[in-house]
Structure 1
Amino acid sequence: MPSGGQRKHTISNKTRKRPGKDLDQIHEDLKPEKAAKLLNQEIDYDLPGNGQFYCIECERHFIDEKTRQIHRKTKMHKNRVKTLKEVPYSQKEADAAGGSGFFPAITLKTRVELPKPVAEEEKEPVKIDVDEVKK
């Protein structure tokens, strides 16, 4: 054991062995056609919940729907969603930043709108004709 309060500088196994996807790869997963495929996966008995309860933003499988809903309320999930709202850099922007070439058409970054969960249809207000009410 090190003396004098010195500690070994080690990296946890989770960080070293399972880094996960980069943000630009998750942006690709959020596209509607790929997201639909990820949310409706075939049954895989090796995954938690048989691979049926998946969080695309955090790339995690859960054992049931209740656990996934609890996860969506956590700070970790909300921070991931917040970082995914930013537009990923393109190769043209990287080349322009590196000084190779001239790219006058590069604009400032904007925010990406993530797909919202399916909600109930909003009802339109009922319109009443004033002339019919008076009769």
Structure 2
Amino acid sequence: MAYPSVEVVPFAMPGGEACVPSQRRPIDLVHLARQTMGDRALEQEVLSMFVQQAQSVRDQIGRSNDKQRRFLAHGLKGSARGVGAFIVAELADALENDPGDKGAIGRLAEAIEDVRDFVAAISR
């Protein structure tokens, strides 16, 4: 008797690898599940830490000089990519490349608030 391959067995990929990424949401939950191997408690912990970091960066970035902005944006970009906050990552990348862009600071702050609201909504 031949067994079906792992690819066709339902739930063979608990991290959601078979799902289409949702990169236009504040958090790509498929990416996050893959990063945490489907561990919901770990997802919540990681998201909580990310929101704290992002809000801290948001609060610091407006009063920083260009060199500090570049450093803050770079760190946020990496963390955002790790949790699937791709919009925040894109905006942090833009700010890292042009740290004097005041509009980019505002757009990044808005995206961080969107992530905070999204995480609060899915954590209920």
TM-score by length of 1: 0.27
Whose radius of gyration is greater, 1 or 2? Answer: 1
> Which fold has the larger relative contact order, with Cα–Cα distance below 8 Å and residues 6 or more apart in sequence?
2
Greater fraction strand: 1
